[in-house]
Amino acid sequence: MTTANNSNQHYKGLINRYKKYLPVKEGDKIISLSEGNTPLIKLENIPKQIGFDGSIYVKYEGLNPTGSFKDRGMTMAVTRAVNEGSVAIICASTGNTSAAAAAYAARAGIRAFVLIPEGKIAMGKLAQAMMHGATVIQIKGNFDEGMSLVKEVADHAPVTIVNSINPYRLQGQKTAAFEIIEDLREAPDYHCLPVGNAGNISAYWLGYSEFYDKKQVKNKPIMAGYQATGAAPFIHNKPIKNPETIATAIRIGNPQSWDMAVNATVESGGWFEQRTDEQILYTQKLLAQKEGIFCEPASAISLSGAIADIKSGKIKQGSNIVCTLTGHGLKDPDTAISQSTKPMKTINATLDDVKRAIIREL
């Protein structure tokens, strides 16, 4: 077990904490917003409700500086880009990558260009990209088309791609697995994740395997990846031309890290499964209302999948499960409000009316 986090020291982000495992050199300028070190929260109410006698933990990545796990990869990718002399970065994004790219570019004092699918990114993410001063380019097309365009344009212009095809992204993201191992003093039995472009499941497997190979831990988890039914290339075993799901973060039909993600499930004895939009939204609300944890729709698919696989017996009773909650619920207020079952009440501003409104609910 490593004890890299000296508690007397101001936390300076995951590159500083895990530098011996990361591609940084002495003297490099580190571009960081103190990302990482996110809480691993043990669920208390949902396991009881579903009759599960093991433990379910959520790795709450929504508490990163820009509200998603993308910050882990972005600190590493932008640090390398800046130290190699790059003055501009570019990405295609379903939203969270663009928010992280915009923030870390601002921190580094370089330009960010982000390509987003028109009308298909959550409002919080768009607000972030715009606020941090990125050049936001909406395309009349989906994420996969944006991704191809980014690869082409990077061949012709002096811009560094910071999508997860940039290998430094996965290096940063693997640190989430390190943190989990350090928190639990072992790897979980199962690790459940949403899968879109398939970078994150690949990164976690890199992290778990690296600590295992370096004898920091004696076990590795079974990796389970979940996709929305309308955007499930791994379930159909081929790219999907027109992916659709309310979980816009994972509205991706042609994942770039295909082979690595398949390898993670095969090597670990895991699987890919799919969940419908209704199941995703149901679990998002369940987590918010039974545990007090607000994640975005795409993130809730990890827990939705875990619960389904517990019920089917694929995940064994008594085991330890970690589900990654990839992004904060505040990213997508529109979806949250539109599916709320308790409509707001409007009453007169009098004590009597307030009392009546409360008493009716007690």
- Which positions touch ligand AN7 (CB under 6 A)? 68, 93-97, 164, 194-200, 249-250, 296, 298-299, 326-327
Smallest separation (angstroms) from ligand AN7 to the CB of 225: 8
Smallest separation (angstroms) from ligand AN7 to the CB of 330: 12
Asked whether 100 and 74 are in contact (CB, 8 A), the reply is yes
Smallest separation (angstroms) from ligand AN7 to the CB of 318: 28
How far apart are alpha carbons 308 and 133 in whole angstroms?
41
Among 272, 300, 270, 305, residue whose Cα is nearest residue 286: 300
Tracing tokens 């298909």 back to the chain, one arrives at 120
**Pairing of the two strands 271-275 and 320-325:** unpaired
Nearer residue to ligand AN7 within complex by CB, 194 or 270: 194
Smallest separation (angstroms) from ligand AN7 to the CB of 60: 12
3-state helix, strand, coil in the chain (%, to 5): 45, 15, 40
- In the structure encoding, which two tokens stand for residue 320, read together? 């330890």
Asked whether 124 and 333 are in contact (CB, 8 A), the reply is yes
Nearer residue to ligand AN7 within complex by CB, 83 or 209: 209
DSSP annotation string for 16-69: HHTGGGSS--TTPPP---------EEEPSSHHHHHT--SEEEEEEGGGSTTSBT
Nearer residue to ligand AN7 within complex by CB, 186 or 291: 291
Nearer residue to ligand AN7 within complex by CB, 95 or 270: 95
Provide the phi-psi class of 2: left if phi over 0, else alpha when psi is between -120 and 50, else beta: beta
Smallest separation (angstroms) from ligand AN7 to the CB of 96: 4
Nearer residue to ligand AN7 within complex by CB, 221 or 327: 327
Nearer residue to ligand AN7 within complex by CB, 2 or 276: 276
DSSP annotation string for 83-145: HTT--EEEEE-SSHHHHHHHHHHHHHT-EEEEEEETT-S-HHHHHHHHHTT-EEEEESS-HHH
- Phi and psi torsions of 161, nearest 5°: -75, 130
Asked whether 181 and 191 are in contact (CB, 8 A), the reply is no
DSSP symbol at 291: T
How far apart are alpha carbons 237 and 257 in whole angstroms?
14
Nearer residue to ligand AN7 within complex by CB, 198 or 240: 198
Nearer residue to ligand AN7 within complex by CB, 22 or 100: 100
Nearer residue to ligand AN7 within complex by CB, 57 or 272: 272
- In the structure encoding, which two tokens stand for residue 228, read together? 């929305």
Smallest separation (angstroms) from ligand AN7 to the CB of 205: 12
Residues 6+ apart with CB under 8 A from 348: none
Smallest separation (angstroms) from ligand AN7 to the CB of 298: 4
Smallest separation (angstroms) from ligand AN7 to the CB of 307: 18
Smallest separation (angstroms) from ligand AN7 to the CB of 176: 11
Nearer residue to ligand AN7 within complex by CB, 16 or 197: 197
Smallest separation (angstroms) from ligand AN7 to the CB of 72: 11
Half-sphere exposure of 79 (CA within 13 A, CB side): 28
